Amino acid sequence: MAELYEVTDVRERTRFTAGGNQVKEFEVFFRTVHGATGSVTIRAADYNAKTLKPTLEAAATELDLPFTL
């Protein structure tokens, strides 16, 4: 269901945990078919199509909910 959204940008970030450890993440920005914009943050360890696609679909569906009522 990639027609629900279009990825517009991906940014790699490094965050620090409370214990001082570094965690690599990706922030994926997208635009829905109704023009709503959003982003999801995925840990680098989970950054793959199997994990990212359902996450983006769920976020796009949630953002477009007011347009479908």
Residue tagged 């796009």 (tokens): 60
Q: What is the pLDDT of residues 15-66, one digit of tens each?
A: 999 999 999 999 999 999 999 999 999 999 999 999 999 999 999 999 999 9
**pTM of the complete model:** 0.86
Q: Are 12 and 23 in contact (CB under 8 A)?
A: no
Domain boundaries, the chain: 2-68
C-alpha–C-alpha distance, residues 43 and 26, integer Å: 6
Q: How many other CB atoms are there within 10 angstroms of residue 53's CB atom?
A: 13
C-alpha–C-alpha distance, residues 59 and 11, integer Å: 17
